[in-house]
Amino acid sequence: MELQTLAMKDATIVDDGTTERTSYPYVTGTSVIGMKYKEGVIMAADTGGSYGSTLRYKSVERIKPIGKHSLLGASGEISDFQEILRYLDELILYDNMWDDGNSLGPKEVHNYLTRVMYNRRNKFDPLWNSLVLGGVKNGQKYLGMVSMNGTHFEDNHVATGFGNHLARPILRAEWHEDLSFEEAVKLMEKCLLVLLYRDRSAINKFQVAKITEEGVTISQPYALKTYWGFSAFQNPSKGAVGSW
């Protein structure tokens, strides 16, 4: 009998014939940005989980290591992200049980995620996430993205959510091959700062993760310095006292 994995279960069917399916997200994470650099892939996300317009959770880790060679970052519904981590745990476990000296690389994990997302969407029960998958295996860097309807692609730099509108233009103009780690972090922080200013669901608490041939490092959460000292902000009605 085929081993039925978690991912293959049907959408929950309740006795009276109705089906429970995801229609809208509840607790959401905002953008994730990823880019390739000289030694591997760097990814960053803030640690906020919003419940509608409330900032409900301020320490949500949205970037996790997968196996030996990959990093997964997710935006969107946090519970669906946690479910995906369970599927991937199972996947990596079965892979390790083969004990054949081979391990799943980022390309394989990306493909698996694409299949899971696409099949869920075809059942009208999507996992409400935009996933960023980055990794290095045998010297090959890999960075890809999967959205909640199964659209997937690979690129030198990716972003989810608001990051597409605010961070991608900066990355398109300033990313180049073989960035050093410091340059990559600087570029990443530039994008994160713009997102902090202009995305209402962003918070000033970021984690930056990097993956190289040696392994994964996820930084401790830290804050960026913001600037509010523009003279126009100090006195907006300077030109006409009493106007609005």
Partner 1 sequence: MRQRSIPLAVVSGPIRATNGGGLKASDSFFAGELWGRMAKASVDARTKGGFSFDLYQRNEMLLKKGLQLPKFRKTGTTIVGLVFQDGVILGADTRATEGPIVADKNCEKIHYIAPNIYCCGAGTAADTEAVTDMISSQLQLHRYATGRESRVVTALTLLKSHLFGYQGHVSAALVLGGVDVTGPHLHTVYPHGSADTLPFATMGSGSLAAMAVFESKFREGLTKDEGIKLVSEAICSGIFNDLGSGSNVDVCVITKGQTEYLRNHQLPNPRTYTSTRGYNFTKGHTEVLTTKVTPLKSKKQAAEVDAMEE
Instruction: Write out the residues near partner 1 by the rule CB under 8 A.
Output: 162, 165-170, 172-173, 190-191, 193-194, 197-198, 230-233, 236-240, 243
Give the span between the Cα atoms of 228 and 205, in whole angstroms.
18
**Which CB, 27 or 187, lies closer to partner 1?**
187
**Which CB, 156 or 217, lies closer to partner 1?**
156
What's the closest the beta carbon of residue 183 comes to partner 1, in angstroms?
14
Is 221 strand, coil or helix? coil
**Which CB, 68 or 168, lies closer to partner 1?**
168
**Which CB, 58 or 172, lies closer to partner 1?**
172
Partnered with residue 209 across adjacent β-strands are: 43, 218
- Chain length of the chain: 244
**Which CB, 153 or 197, lies closer to partner 1?**
197
In the annotation, is 22 catalytic? yes
**Tell me, what amino acid is at 181?**
F
Is 209 strand, coil or helix? strand
Long-range contacts of 117-121 (CB under 8 A, 24+ apart): 117/146, 117/147, 117/148, 117/149, 117/150, 117/152, 118/149, 118/150, 119/7, 119/150, 121/148, 121/149, 121/150
What's the closest the beta carbon of residue 175 comes to partner 1, in angstroms?
13
CA 32 to chain centroid, in Å, comes to 4
What's the closest the beta carbon of residue 174 comes to partner 1, in angstroms?
9
Compute CA distances 208 → 63, 205, 211, 223, whole Å.
9, 10, 10, 11
What's the closest the beta carbon of residue 200 comes to partner 1, in angstroms?
13
Q: Which of 12, 18, 19, 22 is catalytic?
A: 22
Can you read off the two tokens belonging to residue 168?
């991608």
User: Which residues are annotated as catalytic?
Assistant: 22
